[in-house]
Chain A
Amino acid sequence: MMAVGLHHFLVLSALLFVLGLLAVITKKNAVTVLMGIELILNAANINFIAFSRYVDTDLDGQLFALFVIITAAAAAAVALAIVLNIYKQMRSVNLDEADTLAG
Chain B
Amino acid sequence: MIVDYVVWIILLPLISFTIQIFFGKRLPRQGDWLPTSVMFVDLLLALIVAGKVFSAYDPDFRIARSFEWVVLGTTTIKFGLLIDNLTAVMLFIVTLVSSLVHLFSIGYMHGDPRYSRYFAYLSLFSFSMLGLVSVDNFLGIYMFWELVGVSSFLLIGFWFEKHSASNAAKKAFLVNRVGDVGMFIGILLIFAITHTFNFDEVFGKIASGEFAGALLTAAGILIFCGAVGKSAQFPLHVWLPDAMEGPTPVSALIHAATMVAAGVYLVGRTFVLYTETALLIIAGIGTITAFIAATIAVVQMDIKKVLAYSTISQLGYMIAALGVGGYNAGLFHLMTHAFFKALLFLGAGSVIHAMHHEQDMRQMGGLRHKLPITFVTFLIATMAISGVPGLSGFFSKDAILAAALGKAMETGTLYHYLIFATLIFTAGLTAFYMFRALFLTFYGTPRNQEKYDHAHESPSTMTIPLIALALFTVIGGYGSWFEELIRKPSLAMFSTGAAQEAAHAAAEGAAHGAHTIAMVLSILFAFAGIFIAALYYYWNKYSAEAVSEKFAALYRFLWNKWYFDELYQATAVRGTLLLSRAMGWFDLKVIDGIVNGTARMTTLLSFGSGTTDNRVVDGLVNWVARIVGWFGATLREIQTGKVQAYILMALGAFILLYVIQLAMV
Binding site for B on A (CB under 8 A): 21, 24-26, 33, 95-96, 98-103
Contact = CB atoms under 8 A, between A and B. Distances in A.
Q: How large is the interface on B (under 10, 10 to 19, 20 to 34, 35 or more residues)?
A: 10 to 19
B642 A96 contact: yes
Interface in B456-510: none
A58 to B, nearest CB: 28
A98 B643 contact: yes
A33 B640 contact: no
Given A21-B651, A103-B636, A33 B644 contact: yes
7 contacts: A21-B651, A24-B647, A99-B640, A99-B642, A102-B639, A102-B642, A103-B641
Say what secondary structure dominates the interface of chain B: helix
Given A21-B651, A25-B648, A103 B643 contact: no
Contacts of A26: 644
Contacts of A99: 640-642
B639 A95 contact: no
Given A21-B651, A103-B636, A95 B644 contact: yes
Nearest to A102: B641
Contacts of A33: 643-644
Contacts of B639: 101-103
Given A25-B648, A95-B644, 19 more contacts: A21-B647, A21-B651, A24-B644, A25-B647, A25-B651, A26-B644, A33-B644, A95-B642, A95-B643, A98-B641, A99-B642, A100-B641, A101-B639, A101-B641, A102-B639, A102-B642, A103-B636, A103-B640, A103-B641
Contacts of A100: 641
Contacts of A25: 644, 647-648, 651
B653 to A, nearest CB: 14
Interface string B636-665: 110111111001100100000000000000
A100 B636 CA distance: 14
Contacts of B642: 95-96, 99, 102
B408 to A, nearest CB: 121
A25 B646 CA distance: 9
A23 to B, nearest CB: 10
A91 B644 CA distance: 20
A103 B632 CA distance: 10
A13 to B, nearest CB: 16
A21 B650 CA distance: 11
A32 to B, nearest CB: 11
Contacts of B637: 103
A101 B636 CA distance: 11
B631 to A, nearest CB: 12
Interface in B594-645: 636-637, 639-644
A40 to B, nearest CB: 10
